Structure 1
Amino acid sequence: MELTVEMMKKLLDSAIINNEDVERAQIETIKEALMNKYGIKAPKLTQRKNRKGYVCNIPGKYVIPGGPKRPQVSGSTQAECLKNFYDYIEKSVVGTYDKNMTLQDVCEEWLRKKKGEINETTLDRYDSIYRNHLKDTEFSNLTLRKIKKFDCDDYIKTLYHKKLAYRTVKNIKTLVSQVMHYAIMREYMNTNYMSYVKINANLCAVNEYKKEAWTDEELCIIRKKSLEEWNEHKKYRFSAVIMLSATTGCRIGELLAADWSDIDFEKKTFTINKNYVNYRDVDTGNYVTQINHGKNVASRRSIDLTDEAVFWFKEMKRRNDHLGLYSEHVIVSRKGARLKHRAIDARIETFCNAIHIPYKASHTGRRTYATALKDYGVPISEISADLGHSSILTTQAIYYKRRNSREKALGQKNAAFVATLGNTPSLE
Structure 2
Amino acid sequence: MDLEKHKNDTVAQVVEMFLEFAKGDLKKQTHSRYYRAYVNYVKDSSFGKIPARKIKKYHCDDFIRTLTNGTIVYSYVCQIKCIVSQAFDYACDREIMSWNFMRKVKINEDRCKEHEDKELGVWEDDEINTLQSGSMNCWNKCRKYRNSPALFILCGTGLRLGELLALKWSKVDFERRTIRIERTQTEYTDYDTNSKIYEESTPKNKTSRRTIVINDFTYKWLMEQKRRTKQAGIESEYVIPANSGRMVKESNITSTFKAFCINVGVEYKPSHTCRRSYVTNCLDKGMKLALVSRNVGHKNKSTTLNTYYKCKNDYEDNLAIQNEIFKIYDFDFGGVQKELAFA
Q: Give me the whole-angstrom Cα distance separating, in 2, the residues matched to 1:360 and 1:269.
A: 27
Please tell me whether the aligned partners of residues 139 and 155 of structure 1 are also in contact (alpha carbons under 8 angstroms).
no
**In structure 2, do the counterparts of structure 1 residues 150 and 328 end up closer, same or farther at CA, with 3 Å as the change threshold?**
closer
1:172 aligns with 2:77: yes
**In structure 2, do the counterparts of structure 1 residues 134 and 186 end up closer, same or farther at CA, with 3 Å as the change threshold?**
closer
Q: For residue 206 of structure 2, give the secondary structure of its aligned residue in structure 1.
A: coil
Q: Give me the whole-angstrom Cα distance separating, in 1, the residues matched to 2:171 and 2:188.
A: 25
Give the AA of the match of 2:155. A
Give 1:200's aligned residue: 110
Counterpart of 1:365 (choices 251, 268, 274) is: 274
Q: Give me the whole-angstrom Cα distance separating, in 2, the residues matched to 1:279 and 1:251.
A: 17
Give 2:65's aligned residue: 154
Please tell me whether the aligned partners of residues 389 and 395 of structure 1 are also in contact (alpha carbons under 8 angstroms).
yes
Counterpart of 1:108 (choices 7, 11, 16) is: 16
Give 2:32's aligned residue: 124
Counterpart of 2:204 (choices 295, 299, 302) is: 295
Q: When the two structures are aligned, how many residues end up with a matched partner?
A: 324
Q: Give me the whole-angstrom Cα distance separating, in 2, the residues matched to 1:281 and 1:381.
A: 38
TM-score by length of 1: 0.65
1:264 aligns with 2:173: yes
Give 1:308's aligned residue: 217
Q: For residue 159 of structure 2, give the secondary structure of its aligned residue in structure 1.
A: coil
Please tell me whether the aligned partners of residues 152 and 194 of structure 1 are also in contact (alpha carbons under 8 angstroms).
no
Q: Give me the whole-angstrom Cα distance separating, in 2, the residues matched to 1:369 and 1:96.
A: 59
Q: Give 1:265 shift.
A: 0.6
Query: Structure 1 vs Structure 2: percent identity of aligned residues?
Result: 28
Q: Give me the whole-angstrom Cα distance separating, in 1, the residues matched to 2:235 and 2:89.
A: 56
Q: For residue 141 of structure 1, give the secondary structure of its aligned residue in structure 2.
A: coil
Q: Give me the whole-angstrom Cα distance separating, in 2, the residues matched to 1:396 and 1:132.
A: 35
Counterpart of 1:251 (choices 135, 141, 160) is: 160
Q: For residue 389 of structure 1, give the secondary structure of its aligned residue in structure 2.
A: coil
Q: Give 1:132 shift.
A: 2.3
Q: Give 1:258 shift.
A: 1.6
**In structure 2, do the counterparts of structure 1 residues 397 and 183 end up closer, same or farther at CA, with 3 Å as the change threshold?**
farther
1:332 aligns with 2:237: no
**In structure 2, do the counterparts of structure 1 residues 130 and 178 end up closer, same or farther at CA, with 3 Å as the change threshold?**
closer
Q: For residue 290 of structure 1, give the secondary structure of its aligned residue in structure 2.
A: strand
Q: For residue 39 of structure 2, give the secondary structure of its aligned residue in structure 1.
A: helix
**In structure 2, do the counterparts of structure 1 residues 197 and 367 end up closer, same or farther at CA, with 3 Å as the change threshold?**
same
Give the AA of the match of 1:227. M
Give 2:334's aligned residue: none
1:283 aligns with 2:213: no
Please tell me whether the aligned partners of residues 273 and 301 of structure 1 are also in contact (alpha carbons under 8 angstroms).
yes
Deviations 1:375-428 (A, max 9, x none): 333233222322223333443444x142549x859x76xx79xx79xx9x9xx9
Highest RCO, 1 vs 2 (Cα 8 Å, sep ≥ 6): 2
Please tell me whether the aligned partners of residues 352 and 358 of structure 1 are also in contact (alpha carbons under 8 angstroms).
yes
Select the structure of larger CA radius of gyration. 1
Q: For residue 238 of structure 2, give the secondary structure of its aligned residue in structure 1.
A: coil
Listed as ranges, the gaps of 5+ residues in structure 1 are 1-90
Please tell me whether the aligned partners of residues 241 and 247 of structure 2 are also in contact (alpha carbons under 8 angstroms).
yes
Q: Give 1:262 shift.
A: 1.2
CA RMSD of aligned residues (A): 3.6
Q: Give me the whole-angstrom Cα distance separating, in 1, the residues matched to 2:143 and 2:90.
A: 60
TM-score by length of 2: 0.79
Please tell me whether the aligned partners of residues 371 and 402 of structure 1 are also in contact (alpha carbons under 8 angstroms).
yes
